[in-house]
Amino acid sequence: MQAAQKAVDLARQAADPQPASQLELAEALALLGYSQFEAARFTQGPEYSNALHCAEQSYAEARRILTALQQAGTLPETGRSTLGDAVNALATIAAKLAETAVANR
């Protein structure tokens, strides 16, 4: 997960408004979200919810960037699968968070 966070940090530093740079940042964020989601599987209680929320934030930012590129007509074909993955991951995370909320009642 540290490597994924470092990739995001580097992508943010290098980010400019060019589509390729924005795509690189979004892909780094999606990888971070994936790492956070996987790490959540090995936690319990409040740590589990916190890890899911971190993953949700990373995926949501990736989706926002990719959606903006798509709306501008500059999302490369390779970015479409990352966008789909981010949308699916957000749905999965939302379901897990809902399960957690119900279980905590």
**In one letter, which amino acid is 3?**
A
Q: How far apart are CA 41 and CA 59, in angstroms?
A: 17
23 touches 73 (CB < 8 A): no
Number of H helices, E strands in the chain: 4, 0
**pLDDT given at position 51:** 94
**pLDDT given at position 45:** 87
**pLDDT given at position 3:** 86
Q: How many domains does the chain have?
A: 1
**Count of other CB atoms within 10 angstroms of residue 60:** 16
**pLDDT given at position 25:** 94
**pLDDT given at position 17:** 84
**In one letter, which amino acid is 87?**
V
Q: How far apart are CA 51 and CA 36, in angstroms?
A: 6
CATH number for the domain harbouring residue 90: 1.20.1440
Q: How far apart are CA 70 and CA 32, in angstroms?
A: 21
**pLDDT given at position 69:** 96
**pLDDT given at position 39:** 94
Q: For residue 42, what is the DSSP state? A: T
**pLDDT given at position 102:** 79
As averages over each run of 10 residues, the pLDDT of the chain (105 residues) reads 86 84 94 95 92 96 97 93 96 94 74
Range of the domain at 11: 2-103
**pLDDT given at position 105:** 67
